[in-house]
């Protein structure tokens, strides 16, 4: 490829070396890296500003559950010097401000087209370029497209009859309006009790007149243990940044907490309770990734931790029937995303809060004034859908992507996503995925998992332009091997026994987006293992890709 630019001014220009889709955590860094290499880049972003997840998910209570300082850009070195985090686990407004400040400092916005949603893209087999169509009517062309569309950015609504009939206010947590939403003294319904719902419910319950929570599946939630940061603590953390960033490349998913190699079997029953109590008292994922590592693989070990958690729920929820309803009975701990909470269980001791199990009392329909259940109508001023996402693949499938021979990505993935190393799909040359199925990019501690993948991508992009390569495409055999490996490894673990968004089980059976085969959507291995595999490609001349100069 040669670095070609066809038009004269920045605003008129529609042909670039690289088009990046998405200006979230990944897209911002990708832009910075590619620009440093002298490539002409345009980022197309559906939102009105940078930040991705932290731009869209502005629902009440939205907050990090990775420690704030572990979740910032390592590359933004001047900000490491002068950005003080106000809380151990920052709330959405602070995170949004952080990513906006990065955009200011690194002058990123001049190369980002905001309020521009990519609707379709088609590969031109003669020119070896992608034509990218947007909802503004503007079309862009580039030989290389890199998607940074996020793994949790395609919201889903439940398939409940009458969902559009409701005359009150209706919000999805991932599409929360920027304008202030007042819930004070209102009758509010929240549907969904995942990591998002649990944060939102805790916050909404503080001011709502009445809150009804609809729970489909009880979740194993653990205390976040947020606290204010002091200047002394911030100084201490800042002094340790170089070591921290290096260490985080070698924890399982880029978190500060890592699986403890001492298994539960090494402890006496009394010692194990002490070990569990120590984890329980710790921050955030100390109670997940910081646990004895056999909890991730052994049903027996996992059950011991579940038993400990059941006791904590019983201690915190006054009504035994409500405590029982809040106690998971169908999945092992950590086989779904573990929500971190700050007073969630106590919410159900409040007089203004009701919990309804959808398994016992399903919603039959949504009416003009609320919801109709089997046991009666519940009126609401506001319905909040905390019902999650078409995870990992949804954002890409919602773009009409046509590759070689007129095959669409949706067709290629109809049996479930297949990829080569999570970065490419056979039949879609010159298209690279930075956060999607089967990869580690953007999954786990977002910035930590994304950055090495994007640095690898930047080296590859430079190689492509330096060597006048016109076409790079995943070899179907390499893709098969990788996709089979991902699936086989996932099926060996406890996660395979649980219905979860990691397998697309959260999509309704009648949802056309639901893959025909139950496919694991993420990547089961450790971050450094994944990054090493990418780096080995670079060292060995990119095996598994068909490269045409
Ligand atoms: P989620 O984990 O998929 O939870 C969605 C909830 O909605 C679940 O309780 C689900 O029930 C329920 N639900 C889905 N479809 C439904 C339907 N048709 N009827 C009734 N209930 C339905 O989604 P999420 O809570 O938005 O979390 C998504 C991801 O966002 C998490 O995995 C996490 O990675 C991320 N997140 C991160 C943070 C953070 O970093 N602080 C905070 C929040 C979220 P089932 O369990 O039965 O499917």
Which CATH number does the domain housing residue 484 bear?
Answer: 3.50.50.60
Among 216, 385, 448, name the best residue to mutate to test ligand 1's pocket (greatest count of ligand atoms within 8 A of Cβ).
216
> Given this model, what pLDDT does residue 493 score?
86
Which tokens in the block code for residue 80?
A: 């490491």
Looking at the predicted structure, is the pLDDT value of residue 495 above 80? Answer: yes
Angstrom distances, CA of residue 22 to CA of 29, 47, 61, 367: 11, 9, 24, 36
| pTM confidence score | 0.95
- CA 224–ligand 1 middle distance (angstroms): 17
Considering all CA atoms of the chain, what is the largest pairwise distance in Å, rounded to the nearest integer?
Answer: 73
Element (H, E) at 201: helix 195-204
Q: In this predicted structure, what is the pLDDT of residue 5?
A: 41
| CB atoms inside a 10 Å sphere around CB 141 | 17
Cα-to-centroid distance, 424 and ligand 1 (Å): 27
Q: Which residues are CB-contacts of 407 (< 8 A; sequence separation ≥ 6)?
A: 427
Q: Whose CA is nearest to atom 2 of ligand 1?
A: 194
Instruction: Answer yes or no: is 60 within a domain.
Output: no
Q: Mark residue 531 as left, alpha or beta (left: phi above 0; alpha: psi -120 to 50; beta: remaining).
A: alpha
Minimum CA distance residue for ligand 1 atom 46: 217
Would 384 be classed as within a structural domain? no
Mean pLDDT over each residue of the chain, to the nearest integer: 95
pLDDT-based confidence at 439, cuts 50/70/90? very high
Tokens representing 382 are: 């506001």
Q: Is 337 in the pocket of ligand 1 (CB under 6 A)?
A: yes
> From atom 35 of ligand 1, which residue's Cα is the shortest distance away?
195
pLDDT at 94 over 80: yes
Q: Name the 3-class secondary structure at 136.
A: coil
The answer to whether 544 and 473 are in contact (CB under 8 A) is no
Number of domains observed in the structure of the chain: 1
**CB 195 near ligand 1, within 6 Å:** yes
- Which phi and psi (to 5°) does residue 400 adopt? -80, 90
Domain of 444? 18-50+108-154+391-548
Residue 112 maps to a domain: yes
pLDDT tier for residue 12 given thresholds of 50, 70 and 90 = low
Asked whether residue 9 is assigned to any structural domain, the reply reads no
Q: Is residue 257 part of a domain?
A: no
Residue 137's pLDDT is 94
Please give the C-alpha separations between residue 321 and each of 110, 298, 356, in angstroms, as whole numbers. Answer: 56, 29, 11
**What would the pLDDT profile of 270-322 be if each residue is shown by its tens digit?**
999 999 999 999 999 999 999 999 999 999 999 999 999 999 999 999 999 99
407 alpha carbon to ligand 1 midpoint, in Å?
32
Q: Is residue 119 part of a domain?
A: yes
Cα 156 to middle of ligand 1, angstroms:
10
Ligand 1 geometric centre to CA of 139 (Å): 34
Nearest to 421 by CA among 293, 546, 545: 545
Residue 413 to residue 512: CA distance in whole angstroms: 12
Cβ within 8 Å of residue 399, ≥6 positions away: 21, 118, 119, 120, 121, 149, 409
CA atoms within 13 A on the CB side of 9: 2
pLDDT of 41 higher than 80: yes
Pocket test for ligand 1, best of 371, 387, 503, 511 (most atoms within 8 A of CB): 387
Sign, CA torsion 387/391/395/397:
negative
Q: Give 367's pLDDT tier (boundaries 50, 70, 90).
A: very high
Mean pLDDT of 387-397: 97
- Ligand 1 atom nearest the C-alpha of 501 is 3
pLDDT interval class at 441 (50, 70, 90): confident
The two structure tokens encoding residue 489: 């490894």
Residue 193 Cα to ligand 1 midpoint, Å, equals: 6
Residues 425, 443: Cα–Cα separation, whole Å: 19
Q: In the numeric block, which tokens belong to residue 194?
A: 């995942």
Q: Is the pLDDT confidence value at 8 over 80?
A: no
**Which atom in ligand 1 lies closest to the alpha carbon of residue 216?**
47
What pLDDT is attached to residue 162?
96
Where does the pLDDT of residue 3 fall: very low under 50, low under 70, confident under 90, or very high at 90 and above?
A: very low
Mean pLDDT along residues 187-213: 98
Residue 138 domain-assigned (yes or no): yes
pLDDT over 90 for what percent of the chain? 96
Q: Which of 191, 339, 388 to mutate to test ligand 1, by most ligand atoms within 8 A of the CB atom?
A: 388
Give the pLDDT of residue 1.
Answer: 53
Binned at pLDDT 50, 70 and 90, residue 10 comes out as: very low
The DSSP code sequence of 203-216 is: HHTTTBSEEEEEES
Residue 227 in domain: no
pLDDT value for 236 = 97
Q: Tell me: pLDDT of 2 over 50.
A: no
């Amino acid at each position: 490829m040669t670095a070609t630019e066809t038009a004269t001014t920045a605003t008129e220009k529609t042909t670039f070396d690289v088009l990046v889709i998405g200006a979230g955590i990944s897209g911002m860094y990708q832009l910075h890296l590619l620009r440093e290499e002298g490539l002409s880049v345009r980022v197309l972003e559906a939102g009105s500003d940078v930040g991705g997840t932290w731009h869209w998910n502005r629902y009440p209570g939205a907050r990090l559950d990775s420690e704030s300082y572990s979740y910032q850009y390592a590359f933004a070195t001047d900000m490491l010097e002068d950005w003080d985090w106000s809380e151990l686990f920052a709330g959405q407004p602070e995170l949004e401000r952080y990513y906006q400040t990065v955009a200011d400092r690194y002058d990123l916005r001049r190369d980002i087209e905001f309020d521009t949603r990519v609707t379709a893209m088609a590969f031109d087999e003669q020119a070896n370029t992608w034509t990218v169509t947007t909802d503004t009517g503007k079309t862009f062309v580039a030989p290389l497209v890199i998607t940074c569309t996020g793994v949790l950015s395609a919201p889903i609504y439940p398939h409940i009859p009458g969902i559009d009939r409701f005359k009150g206010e209706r919000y999805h947590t991932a599409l929360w309006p920027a304008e202030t939403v007042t819930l004070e003294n209102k009758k509010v319904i929240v549907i969904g009790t995942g990591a998002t719902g649990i944060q939102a419910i805790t916050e909404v319950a503080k001011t709502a007149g009445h809150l009804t929570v609809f729970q489909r599946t009880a979740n194993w939630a653990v205390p976040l243990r947020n606290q204010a940061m002091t200047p002394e603590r911030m100084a201490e953390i800042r002094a340790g940044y170089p070591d921290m960033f290096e260490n985080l490349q070698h924890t399982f998913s880029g978190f500060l907490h890592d699986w403890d190699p001492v298994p539960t079997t090494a402890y006496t029953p009394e010692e194990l309770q002490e070990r569990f109590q120590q984890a329980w008292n710790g921050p955030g994922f100390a109670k997940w990734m910081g646990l004895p590592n056999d909890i991730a693989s052994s049903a027996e070990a996992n059950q011991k931790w579940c038993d400990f958690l059941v006791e904590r729920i019983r201690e915190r929820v006054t009504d035994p029937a409500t405590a029982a309803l809040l106690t998971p009975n169908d999945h092992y701990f950590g086989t779904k995303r573990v929500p971190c909470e700050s007073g969630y269980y106590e919410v159900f001791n409040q007089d203004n809060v009701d919990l309804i199990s959808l398994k016992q009392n399903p919603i039959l329909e949504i009416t003009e004034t609320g919801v109709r259940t089997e046991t009666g109508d519940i009126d609401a001023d506001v319905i909040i859908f905390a019902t999650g996402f078409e995870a990992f693949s949804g954002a890409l499938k919602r773009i009409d992507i046509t590759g070689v021979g007129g095959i669409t990505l949706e067709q290629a993935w109809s049996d479930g996503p297949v990829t080569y190393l999570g970065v490419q799909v056979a039949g879609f040359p010159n298209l690279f995925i930075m956060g999607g199925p089967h990869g580690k990019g953007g999954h786990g501690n977002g910035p930590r998992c994304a950055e090495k993948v994007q640095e690898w991508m930047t080296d590859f992009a430079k190689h492509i332009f330096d060597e006048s390569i016109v076409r790079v495409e995943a070899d179907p055999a390499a893709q098969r091997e990788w996709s089979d490996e991902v699936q086989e490894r996932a099926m060996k673990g406890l996660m395979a026994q649980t219905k979860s968004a990691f397998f697309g089980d959260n999509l309704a059976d009648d949802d056309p987006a639901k893959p025909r085969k139950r496919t694991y959507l993420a990547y089961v291995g450790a971050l450094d293992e994944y990054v090493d595999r990418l780096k080995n490609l670079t060292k060995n001349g990119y095996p598994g890709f068909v490269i045409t100069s």
